[in-house]
Amino acid sequence: MAATRLGAVDYLNARPLVHGLEKRADLFEVRFDPPSRCAMLLHDGAIDVGMIPSIEFQRGAEAYRIVGGMGIVSDGPVASVALFSTRPLASIRSIAVDTSSRTSAGLLRVLCRESFGIAPDFVPMPPAIESMVERCDAALIIGDPALYMDHETANLEKIDLGERWTAMTGLPFVWAFWSGRPKALSPAGLAALAEARDAGVAASDAIADAYCGPSRAALGRAYLRDNIRYVLDERATAGLRMYYELTAKHAVIDAVRPLEFY
């Protein structure tokens, strides 16, 4: 049987989910890409299973399945998905949106309408904070660049989207999860993904040290320990369903596809 083509996200928060999978060449052929490209590869059939932004489950031409029990989840501040603003939130009129984002861009639109009380223009741009805030009042940045951003030195306000979602809903936010075509994973493959997650969570400090380097290791350790959860439990699933309902309400997606699991 051919190895499953697995597309992983090339950010620190995804590393615990793939811990040790490089040793499972019998089961997986792994590649790393930004979240938006990982989703595109799955939609195009270039990979079999991807760690896709949660919004992309609703956008595939096919009905995908979700690997149950695991994902990239926050329950409060996420630290790595934020709006960096040059002015008070209520006076923001334009937002530069990181083009590597999918789920976060949808969340931003929901929060602007449901919580922030603003209706800004959204301008897709590459994630370069200087040019983004030069053109717009604020910038949506995700992943490692958002985590590492020294917003105080840059004289920017940081508005954590994970924190704002949980404050609004009382629920966790699901940023990404493993998803793919119905027959893409065998029982052995599913078990290997669960084992990788468990081993990665246990080794999160070592993962952060290796990924971040000496100058940012403490930040990376705290982030994986305090901001990110890797369990897709009932509360997280309820948060995911609410996100889908609100994105449909605000025309980010056309309709809500029911959750289906392997």
What does the pLDDT average to over 102-113? 96
pLDDT digits (tens, 9 = 90+) for 237-253: 999 999 999 999 999 99
Asked if residue 258 belongs to a domain, the reply is: no
pLDDT digits (tens, 9 = 90+) for 119-176: 999 999 999 999 999 999 999 999 999 999 999 999 999 999 999 999 999 999 999 9
Asked if residue 22 belongs to a domain, the reply is: yes
Asked if residue 164 belongs to a domain, the reply is: yes
Give me the half-sphere count of Cα atoms (radius 13 Å) on the Cβ side of residue 10: 10
Asked if residue 256 belongs to a domain, the reply is: no
Asked if residue 232 belongs to a domain, the reply is: yes
Last residue of a domain, one of 100, 134, 169: 169
pLDDT digits (tens, 9 = 90+) for 182-203: 999 999 999 999 999 999 999 9
Last residue of a domain, one of 169, 199, 222: 169
Asked if residue 257 belongs to a domain, the reply is: no
* Domain, as residue range, for 116: 81-169
What does the pLDDT read at residue 1?
Answer: 67
Last residue of a domain, one of 143, 169, 195: 169
What does the pLDDT read at residue 207?
Answer: 97
Verify that 105 and 161 share a domain, yes or no.
yes
* Count of the separate structural domains present in the chain: 2
Verify that 48 and 89 share a domain, yes or no.
no
Burial class (CB in 10 A: 0-12, 13-18, 19+), 97: buried
pTM, two decimals, is 0.95
